[in-house]
Amino acid sequence: TSDQPYYGAIGPSVVDPRTGEIMDADILFEASMLLGDKNTYRNLVEPRSAIDEVFNVSDKELALMSKGVKTKSFYSEMNAQFDLIHSFLLANGQIEAGDPVPKEFVDQALKWVTMHEVGHTLGLRHNFRSSIDTPLDKLYDEEWGEEKGVFSSAMEYPSINLHPDDKSEDGYYYNPGVGSYDRWVISYGYTPDDEKAKEIARQAAQPGHAYGTDEDARGAGAVDPHVNVFDLGADPLAWGKERAQL
């Protein structure tokens, strides 16, 4: 753990550059990710100084911060999601002041992050487009979530899945297992038969196989409105309106 964490978890690997074979891989969790709220007060009181202290960003990035441009890390977003579920349940009278975030939520978050990092150790990149594979009316459908995922890839950076009106209608907070994209892409990457791999690759346009990675979500290449971090559902605008109700 660190007093200045930037990441929530990582899954680094060592790859043979000649063959692409993954020789060694590990998963590391930042303990403060699950403790939550560590930097919340500091960020609320003085965002610019907090960003400078925690992330050691450049003067240019700080200048952008002062103009309203935000720097968002996985760690800080997970803390924000813990804050959201806590505030939501408290406002609805489902927990008392001082109660911790429910264990059910923590367990699901930890399981998803573990799957995400295992994906990295297996060679998978981020998939920030996978959220569009789930129609809005299926977000709270547990059967859909179990079969296809709340988002179709564990390599997504999702938001917590909360029904805006009725807690009893919540499905899964996060993916209960790997998604349809994950199963498809692993079958391609780990199939030794070249012809079989080509056949699998031709399934790229099928539902449940949406893909967009880091370069598609940030910087000059970020032109696809469906490639977003920390969102859910096939309609980003409609989902954003629902989330605003919270």
The three-state (H, E, C) secondary structure of 66-133, written as one string:
HCCCCCCCHHHHHHHHHHHHHHHHHHCCCCCCCCCCCHHHHHHHHHHHHHHHHHHHCCCCCCCCHHHH
Which residue has tokens 């990149």? 125
Which residue has tokens 């099928």? 206
Average pLDDT over every residue of 85-108: 82
Average pLDDT over every residue of 27-37: 68
What pLDDT score was predicted for residue 71? 45
pLDDT band at 70 (very low <50, low <70, confident <90, very high): very low
Which of 45-59, 79-93, 128-142 is predicted with the least confidence, judged by mean pLDDT?
A: 45-59
Strand pairing class (22-25; 13-15): antiparallel
Average pLDDT over every residue of 162-183: 86
What pLDDT score was predicted for residue 40? 46
What pLDDT score was predicted for residue 47? 52
Helix or strand run (H / E) with residue 25? strand 22-25
Average pLDDT over every residue of 32-55: 50
What pLDDT score was predicted for residue 135? 96
Which of 57-66, 137-146, 182-191, 194-203 is predicted with the least confidence, judged by mean pLDDT?
A: 57-66
Which residue has tokens 């391609």? 188
Residue 112 in this model has a pLDDT that exceeds 90: yes
What pLDDT score was predicted for residue 211? 97
* Residues 152 and 134: beta-carbon distance below 8 Å: yes
What pLDDT score was predicted for residue 154? 96
Please state, rounded to an integer, the average pLDDT across all residues of the chain. Answer: 82
Higher pLDDT: 80 or 35? It is 80
* Residues 32 and 2: beta-carbon distance below 8 Å: yes
Tokens read off for 241:
């309106």
Higher pLDDT: 196 or 106? It is 196
pLDDT band at 86 (very low <50, low <70, confident <90, very high): confident
Helix, coil or strand: residue 24? strand
Tokens read off for 121:
């150790």
